[in-house]
Structure 1
């Protein structure tokens, strides 16, 4: 009895995995019989040996299905028989040996179900109300997006973009949508190259290797400051730019962990270095100085902006050509109830700084 219950602990540990396997086999068999699935898969022989294994799994997991006291008598009798002949122990280790031998077929089982599940998910998205398209991959150094959106935003404003042999620098007011737009670009590129679907009316671009530096945080456990984390992340992009294959580099507020002068100087140098002929660089920034430092033929300038309506800011989230001409940070402070003393002092300081050469 001691031997039986000691081994039972091992069996119970693996029970959840065995139950998943037991459910997966009939699901795969169901899909394999569908006429609209069979043309895409030529070999279902991996299911036969797994179906035989399922009977042993059902024997080991039947105990978990005894939910009421009327079945307790059956459980007591079966448990006594198992203890007497070590049946459960023998069945489990024979099954374990069989699983080891059939591991390739088990891998194919879950890959098959996973592919069908992914296909159903994509079909569900395509049949929904959100606008989608099939991506077109081009060997030319050209990007064309028609009404591109971010799929996680219910009421996302669609935007168009066309670039040929050039990258993009986006400036914009706070909350105007510049970071969301470059995230939408990266996300749609990733979906285009994985599940062959894009959230746009039209998507044309090269097949990219995608790199980003958007969400960066310091690491106290590793004793790395925010700026050091930025440096290390961007260094990966610098190394990746040596690749001869097309790369998409997406960056938000580059090097914001350091002072303005060095941030702008180093940022312009890094962005220009990444912008090799076969690559595209998408940068969102508040640093308007970058619009004057980057070569106009290498970087197209775009911006998002807002309009003031009464005491409220209104954002249309529409991509516009050219650099940003307005600011709204102090206005947002005012709208959110900051003391008037802070607002007036901020405006006075802003005017003074704009009159110096450093902030022209």
Structure 2
């Protein structure tokens, strides 16, 4: 009797210790979440290969108003922008937030997302409770859930009917064996045959096992989130939770092995594994599970979006609680971009600028490092954030709901023997094709055709920029070619420039946008400033005077 009481005492002690540490972890997490509110993540490793999976594999790609291409993403440093914006608590939320900043949907959905963001901005208790629940999906395995949504289902083997027959035969042999034990002997060769098929299918089970386990977790998290009245009121349709719950037993069976973590459980696993082989239980349940996943794919996606939308909204609420100045965008049907004190969110102490383009596009001139490319990137980034997260880093931002395309970072492709110029030709061809869209487009170009000679660069550039500036499309182009200014001012382009000056033998950039075309030339003066030989300086000035006036 004493040994029995001793065992009970040990079990109670283990329970109390586990409960103590569980409460401590929960308390520490709560403190951490409160401490980090309104702050960028620190010491975070961003594995963009898995973060991008939900976006890149999304089976609904063709249903959206616009998706930011990989080229434009690289041109605008979207991955770096994501690192700044991401304050999510779950890996599902992280994947969804990345998908969100590269996917423009509708103004209606944007407004609904804004109302959810404001709910968390104004209700700290709800926000913290949701973060604590979402943190249950903050393991690396949580990235795998999107496989169940976007992966092509595994095809059923043609011999599946024989697997059913084998299972039935095993059961029949056991029943008959009690009447005549000799029939038990037939179970042995059947077991060895079943073992081959069982472990042949293990690769498929292993591929899905992590994702299946995360589906069970995600379902529990969704149920907890939907228990909050404010969340329930915001999401009018939560029927997908009930639909996914119908396949919960199958998912838990498939994920069973993943839950065994100690040697005692492994003994139990061995017994279960023998039964699964003899009766082909895992094989049969797995393909039933695949069927169920295929049928419920859209509801699993809704479950993913439900979790992701909440986590993304909390992330944006945290961003708004940061010290940076922001505004909500205003959308117009006119060909117009109006901004007041717009900034690039990734540049510390960024100089703010204003611009007002009405029925016109922008031609921007200036020297290297003056801020030309940064400014057109700033407009493009804020246009994307306006349409995806309903936030702009400016005092005011007015623009159309617009598709964004770019041609900024272009390089030679040595692997397929593509020259810089040809790469540029192919990139700009994509913009030309996009200009046939009836919806307004924003085209961002930096130093068009710099891979060819001056005469053809200016001639070709003028023709292309004139062509793109049609319908309600808006073009923002930066260039060193002053000659383009006189040609494009007649083609409905507004001229602006950035300039620098030399003071006390130092080169100073004020990064302030100025109207009109650049009138000063400082390139040779800069060579002189950096102690180029006097012979070079004199030769350059003479050539400039004789050839360019």
More strand by share: 1
Give the deviation of 1:99 after TM superposition: 1.6
| Partner residue, 1:164 | 358
Instruction: Kindly indicate whether the alpha-carbon contact (under 8 Å) linking 2:386 and 2:392 is maintained by their aligned counterparts in 1.
Output: yes
Question: How far did residue 104 of structure 1 move?
Answer: 2.6
Structure 1 residues 346, 20: CA separation in 2 closer, same or farther (over 3 Å shift)? farther
Give the drift of 1:243.
Answer: 4.3
From 247, 255, 259, the counterpart of 1:53: 247
Residue 149 of structure 1 aligns with which residue?
Answer: 343
Q: 1:343 to 1:74 in 2, by over 3 A?
A: farther
User: Structure 1 residues 140 and 84, CA, compared in 2 at 3 Å: closer, same or farther?
Assistant: closer
Q: 1:112 to 1:129 in 2, by over 3 A?
A: same
Rounded to whole Å, the distance in 2 between the matches of 1:139 and 1:73 is: 68
More helix by share: 2
- Provide the alpha-carbon RMSD of the alignment: 2.5
The separation in 2 between residues aligned to 1:334 and 1:27, in whole angstroms, is 65
Q: Secondary structure at the match of 2:230?
A: coil
SS of equivalent residue, structure 1 residue 295: helix
Change (3 A) 1:5 1:179: same
Shift of the alpha carbon at 1:174? 1.2
- The runs of 5 or more residues in structure 2 that have no matched partner are 1-194
The structure-2 alpha-carbon separation of the partners of 1:331 and 1:61, relative to structure 1 and needing over 3 Å to count, comes to farther
Tell me if the contact between 1:133 and 1:198 (Cα under 8 Å) persists in the aligned partners: yes
Task: Find the counterpart in structure 2 of residue 323 from structure 1.
Answer: 517
Counterpart of 2:542 in structure 1 is 352
Match of 1:30 among 215, 218, 224: 224
- The secondary structure found in structure 1 opposite 2:391 is coil
Instruction: Tell me, yes or no, if the aligned pair for 2:210 and 2:258 is still in contact at 8 Å.
Output: no
Which residue of 402, 405, 410 maps to 1:216? 410
Quote the Cα distance in structure 1 between the aligned partners of 2:536 and 2:262: 72
Map 1:150-299; keep pairs closer than 5 Å: 150-276=344-470, 278-295=472-489, 298-299=492-493
Measure how far apart 1:287 and its partner are: 1.3
TM-score by length of 2: 0.60
Which whole-Å CA distance do the structure 2 matches of 1:59 and 1:334 have between them? 76
What TM-score do you get using the length of structure 1 for normalisation?
0.88
Following TM superposition, by how much is the alpha carbon of 1:258 offset from its aligned partner in structure 2, in angstroms? Answer: 0.5
Q: Which one is further off, 211-220 or 323-332?
A: 323-332
Partner of 2:74: none
Following superposition, the deviation at residue 145 of structure 1 comes to: 0.1
Question: Aligned equivalents of 2:440 and 2:204: distance in 1?
Answer: 51
Q: Tell me which of 92, 95, 109 is aligned to 2:289.
A: 95
Does the residue aligned with 2:239 lie in a helix, a strand or coil? coil
Shifted more, 250-259 versus 191-200: the winner is: 191-200
Asked if 2 retains the 8 angstrom alpha-carbon contact of 1:176 and 1:315, the reply is yes
Match of 2:310 in 1: 116
Q: What is the DSSP-based 3-state SS (H/G/I as helix, E as strand, rest coil) of the residue aligned with 1:28? A: helix
Cα distance in 1 between the residues matched to 2:473 and 2:207? 50
Check whether the contact 1:173–1:326 (CA below 8 A) recurs between aligned residues. no
Deviations 1:262-304 (A, max 9, x none): 2122222322333236332211111122223332682222122
CA offset digits 1:233-256 (Å, max 9, x no partner): 223333444445433221100110
Distance 1:246 1:60, change over 3 A: closer
SS in 1 for 2:476: strand
The alignment covers a number of residue pairs equal to 355
Q: Cα offset for 1:95?
A: 1.5
Contact kept in structure 2, 1:132 and 1:200, CA below 8 Å: yes
1:183 positional shift: 0.7
- SS at 1:88's partner residue? helix
Asked which structure has the greater CA Rg, the reply is 2
- In 1, Cα distance between the equivalents of 2:460 and 2:207? 55
Once the two structures are TM-superposed, the CA of residue 137 in structure 1 deviates from its matched residue by: 1.2
Distance 1:138 1:77, change over 3 A: same
Query: How many angstroms apart in 1 are the aligned matches of 2:293 and 2:441?
Result: 42
Equivalent residues of 1:143, 1:161 under 8 A apart: yes
